[in-house]
Every structure is written in C-alpha cells, then in structure tokens.
Amino acid sequence: MYKGFRTWVLLLVFHTLTVAVWARRGRRNVLFIIADDLRTSLGCYGDSLVKSPNIDQLASKSQVFLNAYAQQSVCAPSRTSILTSRRPDTTRLYDFKSYWRVHSGNYTTMPQYFKSKGYLTLSVGKVFHPGIASNHSDDYPCSWSIPAYHPASFRYEKKRFMCKGEDGKLHANLLCAVNVTQQPGGTLPDMESTDEAVRLLKSRAGDDNPFFLAVGFHKPHIPFRIPQEYLSLYPIEEITLAPDPDVPKLLPPVAYNPWTDVRRRDDVQKLNISFPYGPIPKDFQLRIRQHYYAAVSYMDAQVGRLLSALDELRLSDSTVVVFTSDHGWSLGEHGEWAKYSNFDVATRVPLCSTFLGSPHTVTGVENDKVIKNMVELVDVFPTVSYLAGLRAPEPCPDEELCTEGDNLAYTFQRPERGENEEAVSFSQYPRPADTPQVPPPESWATLCTWDYRYTLWLGFNPNTFQVNVSDVHAGELYMLASDPGQDNNVYSDCDHSVMMTKMTRLPPTVSLQMRMKLQLLYLSAGRKRKA
C-alpha cells in the first residue's frame, strides 16, 4: 500500500512539474514598442513618401490594424490609458498633472499584470509619461521589476539652446537636424535607448523566464533633433504641402488647435505668425514636413536594430512584438500643427502585432493580415495578454484588474468579414473655452465609424469630472466617404435640437459613448432620408 501511495505521489509531482514547464513554455515574451507623436505616415499604411523599411517589414509579418485610435491626443493621458486599458474619463487624467493611483483608482497596468505572472518587466525610454503622471518613478515598483531606464542624453533635449540656426548660433528651434558626433556624448536619446534595450535582450537570451520589455522612442516628437543625414532621404523639392492646409470654414472655434507648443520655438517665433489662425509660410511648412518624415525614418532605424537583435539572439520565435504610437500629429491639415485635437491625423495611430518566428506560431492564430474595422488603444492590454499566453482581463467594472477595451485576439483567428458598422472608436480632447486661447484649454468627444466622424463639444465640470450632455457648445459631423480629410462639417444645429429632445427620454445612467452612438444613428438616418 505504501509503495502504491509513493508511486501516486511521484506521478502527481511529475504531472505538476510537467504542467509548470508547459505553462512556462506556453508563455511568450513581449517586446512592446511605442513611438511618440507618430501618425500613420508609414509605408505599410500607404504613405508613398515616407521611408520606413523596418516597421514595414514588421508589418509584413503582422496583424496590422489600419484604423486604430488613441483615446486622447496627448502623451500622458494616452499612455496611461493604453497601459491601464482605461479611458481618460476613468483615469481622470486629461493633462500631465496627476497620478491615477492617487487621483482615480489603484488600477493594474499591463506590465504590472505580467509582473504578477512571473515576468521580468523592463522599461526603456519613454513608456509611461515621466513626472507626476507616473509618480515621478515610471510607476516603479508597481509596474517594473527594476527602475525604468531613461537615456542620459535626453536631458539635453530639454536644454534651452541645442539647435544650431542659420546664423551659426544655438537656439531652441523646432527644426534641429544635428551632427551626432558633435552632440554631448556623441549620441542621441533614441540611440541610447536602443543600446540599452539590445543589452537587456542579450541578458535574457537563454533564460527560460519570460520577459516583458517596453521600449519607448522619443521621436518623431518635437524638437526634430535628429541626425542630419536623414534629411537627405527627403529632398525638399519632393515634399508637398498638406492637401487641406486651410482652416475649414465651418470648423467650430472650440475644435481648432492653435499649436502653441510649436509657436514657442525660436525659429517659429521669428516668423511672426498671427494668433490663432495665421498660417505658417509655405516654405517653412515644407521644412516642417521634411523634418517630421526624417524623424520617422530615424526612429524606424532604431526599430530595425531591435528586431535584428531579436533575430540574432533567436528570440523571435518566442516573442510577441507590438508596435504602436501614443497618438498622431497634424502636419498642416486644417491649418493645424502638432496634436491636441480630435481629427483623424491626431488620433489615428499605427498598430501591429506579430509572432516574428512564423505566421502559424500559435494554433488557430494567423498573422500577415490587415484589419480595417475600428479598434482602440484600450484594446492593447487584453489582446497582448492573451497572445502572450495569459488570461485576458475581463471587462470592467472590477476595480483593479479589468479592461475598458476589447480582446482583439479573435481577429487573429478568422478573416475579417467586411465592414462592421457596430465597430466604433471613441476619442476626446478637453478645452477650457469656446475659442482658441493661450495656454490651450476645458469641454469634450469624438465617435468615429466607417462612414462618419461625429464630435460634440460638451460642458464639463473639472471638480466633479461630470459631463453635461445637454450643454452642447458645438458639433461636427463629417461624411468620410466623400470627405476623408474631414474638411466639410455638415453638423446642423436644427437637426441636433430635435435629436436632443428625443435624447431627454434616455435614463441618466446611459453612458456618453452610448448616447453618441444613438445620436449618430439618428443623424445619419436623417441624412439618408434627405438624400
């Protein structure tokens, strides 16, 4: 009897160890790459001018989401939203001035979740937004196994005088192509971050314990302090202006972003541009666009170094790679520059995810596909968790670990079945006034579908964090099939007043997102009847 009991115990131990080893092998590493202020100006998104061979190569092996949207076009709110899978209305972070764990709730972040499952979690560069928005610690030790790494050369990015002007003197310029050998330390921040990320990857090669490595590149964020040789990829005579460089006639003043951060740069101040709508001279517009594209190519080269390291270290087959951006950036569309708006160019971002080793690395999961339906960056956390072999967080309202997004893993498992009219993205941007001001403003929200972009600017109480859905300051409605650039606002105050009367019958518990969905259905049906 004792012998049989011992055999049973040995079998149980063997089974337990086998399950543990299988579980460990079943979990995949994660390389999460996030760019700063990168719009969909990439070859894999159909931009014929931009040279982005490394990201394009990644996309060729990836699930590419053509219509992925950030929840707010500002760094700190967007990054917090991505990493917690909560919307800005939940994190209550619309700027850079609060830490969500204190200000809103002790929400579990994506790296924190992986850490709790035995992963070594590592942060390099700009992942969380630095400062109070991440508790002056990049949310360490909650999210990361060791303190986050920041490149030493980034402090020079913040120095007042780093860019050599046409007069040969140093200025705080927007356009800042440099000779890297003449920079402090002979390097630049994204180069340093790549060096550190490659070093960390080398330290993980041969280790069975899984890792979650997040790498945040600073470019193409301004100033365009980049290696000067990348400008040669974009001869100025080949650069064109934005197809819609003028402020739309029917654009509500509250919707306009006066790009104050760009105006503060020395080389832009010299242009004496009138506030708020005065256009930048065309020759300078071309140079801004040239420098932005060059910054994209410079960042792309760093991505290439990371992916090459994965291959050389034979980590590709066991690693989920995710590439995205915190939000987009306007390059003269609608007479705007920078971010801080709800237009497509400011909220739409690249998003792709892959298993680099093989398009069939996981049973039932296929890569090398394009998804055209709307998705959101709050979807990243649950999707990456599932692809890495963990249980995806359940939909909220659990207080610490839940998601306000969707697990997109199903999109890897079957072909997309045409347009999903129910798929929407929801973005928002606060403003404190109905007209452009310095400093930029507080009001609200955009719903984007296949056919429409619908925006309402609503009253908001910053003390109670409550939106007044009946206090409508302005509205925008764009028909994307005939107006993809969103230049012709067909929103009607008359139609809206009738619709709002109908909306008063809804119970107060109905969310803003659902209200806007219902309103859009009403407005679109009305336009179809008129047509």
> Of the residues 44, 75, 352, 448, which is catalytic?
75
- The C-alpha atoms of residue 235 and residue 254 are separated, in whole angstroms, by 36
Strand, coil or helix: what is 120?
A: strand
- Per the annotation, the verdict on 218 as an active-site residue is no
**Strands in 93-192 per DSSP E:** 120-125, 163-164, 170-171, 175-178
- Per the annotation, the verdict on 129 as an active-site residue is yes
| Phi, psi torsion values for 269, nearest 5 degrees | -60, -35
| Phi, psi torsion values for 419, nearest 5 degrees | -70, 130
- The C-alpha atoms of residue 479 and residue 487 are separated, in whole angstroms, by 10
Q: What token pair was written down for 97?
A: 């001035």
The Cα-based distances of 387 to 14, 30, 361, 362, 407 in angstroms read: 27, 9, 11, 9, 10
Strand, coil or helix: what is 244?
A: coil
Report whether 317 contacts 329 (CB < 8 A).
no
Half-sphere exposure of 330 (CA within 13 A, CB side): 28
3-state secondary structure 174-212: CEEEECHHHCHHHCCHHHHHHHHHHHHHHHHCCCCCCEE
Identify the DSSP state of 313.
T
> Of the residues 15, 44, 103, 129, which is catalytic?
129
- Provide the phi-psi class of 313: left if phi over 0, else alpha when psi is between -120 and 50, else beta: alpha
The catalytic residues are 75, 129
